[in-house]
């Protein structure tokens, strides 16, 4: 193992144990959705730690968001067991069932107490319910009281578009639509203590942030909450953006939208669309990005620690 560089990977996926037949079924479903992975995907904590050691990563936060409540809770339980087994290598972003506010609130309470989760993970569109849905206001209110860190990830297993799989580019647009909807729904205004981390450098949002600031508060744009031009700029600037599968071209627009200390490292580990080669190529491009000073590039892997005091305590033991 090379010496750890102290970096933290916010963007790590996992798969709870499944049978070979279920793995085969999932593989065929992906291929039917134009997601042409060459073989059934297998995940294990051991292989993940092997990659983290190879890359010199100290800790990875795990997230997985199944689309049924029972599977989601079971997945959170499994991830909890991994954090207990490897407390200095893994953190837990407990998945939330955002199609059901009541179930969501119960899982927040369970995750915060019994599971001792570090933060939370949500899907941009969960069973056709977007994060800007007003029914989720009690959920955001609860997370606001907890000063929670919430990782927003798109649905990578959505149907293909124009014959190409969702993880290629559609994830970026779903992320953008969702965060813009949250902005106009007033979520960032009403719940300022929630620290939102957006996957894949915010998708297309940073590129469009200037357009939103320029035009988003104009009278021809529906704006029932009267979000102002200044709010558009400041609220988008408060988001944290991870680097998963976006360097170097995603970093320049991201840095126009947020400060360097709001760029956090993400590998997008543990999914069939990522390989060791692609993750390492992306990490090297982050480290070599010329738009930041060396100290700022090196800080990317530690910026997220400001949001996760429990994880910091485990690292320091």
Parallel/antiparallel/unpaired status of strands 129-130 and 125-126: antiparallel
pLDDT at 5 over 80: no
What the block records as the tokens of 131 is 């994060």
For residue range 281-299, what is the model confidence (pLDDT) as tens digits? 999 999 999 999 999 999 9
Cα–Cα distances (Å) from 278 to 243, 250, 266, 274, 291, in that order, read: 13, 15, 12, 6, 21
Q: Lowest-pLDDT range, 26-35, 147-156, 207-216, 257-266? A: 26-35
Spatial CB neighbours of 7, under 8 Å, sequence gap ≥ 6: 55, 56, 57, 58, 265, 300, 301, 302
pLDDT of residue 288: 94
Q: What is the mean pLDDT of residues 135-147?
A: 98
- The three-state secondary structure class of 65 is coil
Q: What is the pLDDT of residues 123-134, one digit of tens each?
A: 999 999 999 999
In the predicted structure, residue 3 carries a pLDDT above the cut 60: no
* Residues 6 or more apart in contact with residue 102 via CB below 8 angstroms: none
CB 166 within 8 Å of CB 158:
yes
Give the angle 60-146-94 at the CA atoms, nearest 5°: 35
Mean of pLDDT over the chain: 96
- How confident is the model at residue 137, as a pLDDT? 98
Would you place residue 4 in the very low, low, confident or very high pLDDT band (cuts 50, 70, 90)? Answer: low
> Which residues, at least 6 apart from 295, have a Cβ–Cβ distance to it below 8 Å?
none
Residue 5, classified by CB atoms within 10 Å of its CB into exposed (0-12), middle (13-18) or buried (19+), is middle
Q: What is the pTM of this model?
A: 0.96
The CA-atom distances, in angstroms, between 78 and each of 45, 64, 74, 89, 190 are 11, 10, 6, 15, 33
pLDDT tens digits along 16-46: 999 999 999 999 999 999 999 999 999 999 9
């Amino acid at each position: 193992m090379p010496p750890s560089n102290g970096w933290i990977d916010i963007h790590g996926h996992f798969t709870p144990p499944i049978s070979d037949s279920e793995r085969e079924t999932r593989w065929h479903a992906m291929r039917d959705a134009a997601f042409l992975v060459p073989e059934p995907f297998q995940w294990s904590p051991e292989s993940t730690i092997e990659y983290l050691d190879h890359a010199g990563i100290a800790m990875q936060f795990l997230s997985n968001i199944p689309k049924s409540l029972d599977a989601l809770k079971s997945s959170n339980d499994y991830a909890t067991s991994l954090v207990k087994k490897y407390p200095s290598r893994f953190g837990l972003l407990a998945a939330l069932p955002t199609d059901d506010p009541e179930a969501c609130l119960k899982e927040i309470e369970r995750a915060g107490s019994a599971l001792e989760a570090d933060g939370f993970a949500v899907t941009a569109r969960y069973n056709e319910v977007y994060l800007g849905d007003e029914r989720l206001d009690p959920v955001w209110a609860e997370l606001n009281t907890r000063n929670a860190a919430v990782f927003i990830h798109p649905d990578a297993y959505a149907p293909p578009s124009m014959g190409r799989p969702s993880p290629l580019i559609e994830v970026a647009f779903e992320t953008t639509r969702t965060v813009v909807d949250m902005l106009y729904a007033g979520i960032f205004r009403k719940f300022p203590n929630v620290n939102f981390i957006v996957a894949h450098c915010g998708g297309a949002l940073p590129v469009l942030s200037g357009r939103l600031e320029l035009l988003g508060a104009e009278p021809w744009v529906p704006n029932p909450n009267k979000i102002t031009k200044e709010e558009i700029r400041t609220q988008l600037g408060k988001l944290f953006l991870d680097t998963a599968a976006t360097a170097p071209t995603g970093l320049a627009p991201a840095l126009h939208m947020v400060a360097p200390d709001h760029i956090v490292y993400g590998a997008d580990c543990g999914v069939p669309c990522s390989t060791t080669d692609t993750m390492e190529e992306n990490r090297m491009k982050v480290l070599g990005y010329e738009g930041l000073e060396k100290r700022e590039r090196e800080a990317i892997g530690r910026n997220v620690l400001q949001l996760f005091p429990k994880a910091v305590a485990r690292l320091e033991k």
